A and B are shown apart, each in its own frame.
Chain A
Amino acid sequence: MKSSWRRASTEAKLLLVGIPVLIWTLLPIYHLVLFAISPKESAFAGQLWPDHPTLHNFAVVFREQHYYLSHFWLQLWNSLVIAVSVGVLTLVVATAAAFAISRLRVRGGRTVMNLALFTYFIPAAFLAVPMYKTMGNYGLLNNQWSLILAMVTIAAPYSIWVLKQASDKLPYELDEAARIDGASPPQLFRLVYLPLMTPSLVAIGTYALLLAWNEYLYAFLLLSNDTQITLSVALGNFLAADDSPWELLMTVGLIYALPPAAIYYAFKRYMVGGLTAGAVKS
C-alpha cells in the first residue's frame, strides 16, 4: 500500500515537471500550425483554434503564388542539395581523419584533431566575416560551394572527434587480424572499418546534414542571388516587408521543419547509439 502510494507520488512529481516542459516545447509549434491553417484575416485573431481552418496557405506556397515564394521549390531544392552535400562531404572528411588518427595511428594525428577542435573556441558567428573574405578570395561568393565548404568546416571538427572516439572502441585486434589476413589499409577501411562504424556514420551524417539544413547566418552572407539561396534565407527575406505575410511564413516554416523531423525519426536509434558510443572513452 505504502509503496504504491510512493510510486504514485513519484509519478506525480515527474508529471509536474514533464507537463510544463511539454507545453513549453509544443507551444511554438502549436502557433506555427495555428498560423499555417488560419486564413490571412484571422491569423492574428488570438483564437485557440481558427473558425475556418484551411489548407489554402499550403496551396499558395506550393503554387508559388506570392512575391516572396516565387522560387519556393528551387530554394527547397537548394537547401536539400546543400544539406546532403554537407552531410556526405563531412562524412568523407571525418571518417578518413578518424580512421587515420585512430586506426592507422598516423604521427601527429592527435595534434591535428586537437587543433581542429580548437576552432570551436571561437564562436562560428565571429568567423562569418573572415569566412566571407576567404570565400571572396577564392571567388566562390554567391556560389553554393562556398556554403557547402563553410558548413563542412564547421561540422568537421566535432564529427572527427566523435568518430575518433567511436573508432577507438573497435578492438585493435580486428585490424591486426585483417592485416595478417592480407588486407591493405584501403581494404581494411572498406571491408572492416566502414561496416562496423555504420551507426556512428549515420549519426554524424545526420548531424552535419541538419546543421546545414538549419543554417541561416552563413547562408545569408555567402549567397545572395534568389535562385541560389536556401529556403531558410528566403524565409528571412519575408521579414523585409512592412506587412510580412505571417501565415505564409509560418506555413513555409512548418514545411521546412518536416524533413529534419522525418530524418531524425528515421535515424533516431542510430543517432542515440552512435553518439553515446563516441561519448565515453573506454
Chain B
Amino acid sequence: MASVTFHNVEKTFGGTKVIHGIGFDIHDGEFMVLVGPSGCGKSTLLRMLAGLEEISGGTIAIDGRVVNNMESKDRDIAMVFQSYALYPHMTVADNMGFSLRLRRAPQATIQERVAKAARILNLEPYLQRFPRELSGGQRQRVAMGRAIVRDPKVFLFDEPLSNLDAKLRVAMRGEIKALHQRLKTTTVYVTHDQVEAMTMADRIAVMHDGRVEQIGTPLDLYDRPGNLFVAQFIGSPAMNVIEGTVRRGNGALHLEAEGGIRWPLGDGGGADGQRVAYGIRPEHVMLASPDTLGAVAGEIIVVEPTGAETELLVQAGSVQIVLRTHGRPVVNAGDKVGLSVDPSMVHVFEKQTGARLAA
C-alpha cells in the first residue's frame, strides 16, 4: 500500500499541452476516481502514473519516491485495461501468473498466489481456459486477477467496465468496490461515467480540459460543486441551470430569468444586478399548484415514471426544467403546474467564470 502524489504534472503531445500543472495527493489505501468527459486528460494522467506516457513536467511520486524516470515494471503498480489486454495464447492461470513468472518466482508461490486470487474472484473453474473461451465479465475478472496476484502498491483501472453491458457493469462495480474494501490497496480508477465515480470512490477528482476542477468525496461534490462544470457533470439527471440576473425585491433576493420569470434565491447568492447561472438539482424542485404564491408557472412536457421515482420535464418560460419526485404524481403531459424551489438548495455560479458564489 502506498500514497500517490502528483506535483504540478504537465503533459505535452507535440506542442499541444494536454495536462496543465495538476497537483493532488492520493492517500494510502484510498479509492480515488478520476472522472471527466472524453479528452479531459484523465487516462493520460493514469498512463503517466503507470509509466506508459512520459511526464513532460512536474513530478509523480509513489510512496514518497519520485517515479518520473522509473520503468513501469519498477513502479510496483498493476493496471487493468479497458480492453482487458489478456494474453490470448495463455490460459487464465498463466495470464494471472505471468508477472510472477517474469520475476522468476518459485512455481509453488505462483500457483499459490494464482489460486488465492482465483478464489477471491470466483475464477477457480476457469483457470485452464483460454481468454477466448470466457465471457466479457470473466475476462474482466481475469484482468483484475492478474493485478491482484502481483500484490502491488497501487491498482490502476482505465475505464475497466466500459466494454461490459449495463447489467454486468453494475455487478462488476460492486465487485471492484468489495475487492478494494477487502484488499485496501490504494486504487486509481479512471471513468467517464459519473455514476461509477459516485458509487465507488472514496474521493473523486473531476477533470476537464487537462485540469482538475474539484476534488472531494462524492457527496461533497454533489452537495457543494465548486463550479458550474462540476455541478453539471456530477448528478444524473444533471442539475438544472437557469441564466439570469440577481434582483432584490421585497427584501429578498431572486433570480430574474428571461421573460421576467422569478426564481427564489437564498441569501448571499450574488449581488443585486449580477449576471449568474442558477443551479437547482431535479430533486429540489417540487410540484405545486399553479396558483401557489411564489411558484413558477410551467407546463408538463414529458412524464417518465421509473417505479420508485418519477421524472418530469417541465417548460418554464424559455427553459426546460427536470424535476424528480418520489412516488407517482397524478399528472399528464400538457398539465399546467407550479414549480417551487427550496432556496437553501440553490447553487449560484458566476456567469463568466462559472465559479461558485458565496454560500
What does the 1/0 interface line of B89-129 toward A look like (CB < 8 Å)?
A: 10000000011001100000000000000000000000000
Whether B77 is near chain A, meaning CB under 8 Å from some CB there, is yes
Question: Knowing that A177-B81, A179-B72 are A-B contacts, what are 18 other residue pairs whose CB atoms are under 8 Å apart, sorted by A's residue number?
Answer: A173-B81, A173-B85, A176-B52, A176-B72, A177-B85, A177-B146, A178-B98, A179-B51, A179-B73, A180-B52, A180-B72, A180-B78, A180-B99, A181-B98, A181-B99, A181-B150, A182-B102, A192-B87
Total B residues in contact with A, Cβ cutoff 8 Å: 22
Whether B83 is near chain A, meaning CB under 8 Å from some CB there, is yes
Whether B88 is near chain A, meaning CB under 8 Å from some CB there, is yes
What does the 1/0 interface line of A37-68 toward B look like (CB < 8 Å)?
A: 00000000000000000000000000000000
Task: Please report the C-alpha to C-alpha distance between residue A171 and residue B77 in the assembled complex, in whole angstroms.
Answer: 21
Q: Are A196 and B88 in contact, with the CB atoms below 8 A? A: yes
* CB-defined contacts of A8 to chain B, threshold 8 Å: none
Whether B50 is near chain A, meaning CB under 8 Å from some CB there, is yes
Interface of B with A (CB < 8 Å)?
Answer: 50-52, 71-73, 77-79, 81, 83, 85-89, 98-99, 102-103, 146, 150
Whether A174 is near chain B, meaning CB under 8 Å from some CB there, is yes
Whether A100 is near chain B, meaning CB under 8 Å from some CB there, is no
* CB-defined contacts of B72 to chain A, threshold 8 Å: 176, 179-180
- Give the 7 A-B CB pairs with smallest separation, nearest first: A173-B85, A182-B73, A181-B99, A177-B85, A182-B102, A195-B89, A180-B72
Total A residues in contact with B, Cβ cutoff 8 Å: 16
What does the 1/0 interface line of A10-26 toward B look like (CB < 8 Å)?
A: 00000000000000000
Instruction: Please give me the residue from chain B that is nearest to A181 by CB atom.
Output: B99
Instruction: Assess A176 versus B81: contact at CB under 8 Å? Given A183-B73, A195-B89, A196-B89.
Output: yes
What does the 1/0 interface line of A191-226 toward B look like (CB < 8 Å)?
A: 110011000000000000000000000000000000
Q: Which of A171, A180, A181, A187 contacts B51 (CB 8 A)?
A: A180
22 CB contacts below 8 A, A to B, read A174-B87, A176-B52, A176-B72, A176-B81, A176-B85, A177-B79, A177-B86, A178-B87, A179-B51, A179-B52, A180-B52, A180-B77, A180-B78, A180-B79, A181-B98, A181-B99, A181-B102, A182-B99, A183-B73, A183-B102, A191-B98, A192-B87
Task: Please report the C-alpha to C-alpha distance between residue A178 and residue B98 in the assembled complex, in whole angstroms.
Answer: 8
Q: Are A171 and B52 in contact, with the CB atoms below 8 A? A: no
Task: Please report the C-alpha to C-alpha distance between residue A171 and residue B83 in the assembled complex, in whole angstroms.
Answer: 9
Interface residues of A in 134-157 (CB under 8 A from B): none
* CB-defined contacts of A195 to chain B, threshold 8 Å: 89
* CB-defined contacts of B78 to chain A, threshold 8 Å: 180
Q: Are A173 and B73 in contact, with the CB atoms below 8 A? A: no
Task: Please report the C-alpha to C-alpha distance between residue A177 and residue B96 in the assembled complex, in whole angstroms.
Answer: 12
Instruction: Assess A173 versus B83: contact at CB under 8 Å? Given A181-B99, A187-B102.
Output: yes
* CB-defined contacts of B73 to chain A, threshold 8 Å: 179-183
* CB-defined contacts of B87 to chain A, threshold 8 Å: 174, 177-178, 192
Cβ of B268 to closest chain A Cβ, rounded Å? 50
* CB-defined contacts of B146 to chain A, threshold 8 Å: 177, 181
Task: Please report the C-alpha to C-alpha distance between residue A266 and residue B255 in the assembled complex, in whole angstroms.
Answer: 81
Task: Please report the C-alpha to C-alpha distance between residue A179 and residue B77 in the assembled complex, in whole angstroms.
Answer: 11
* CB-defined contacts of A179 to chain B, threshold 8 Å: 51-52, 71-73
* CB-defined contacts of B81 to chain A, threshold 8 Å: 173, 176-177
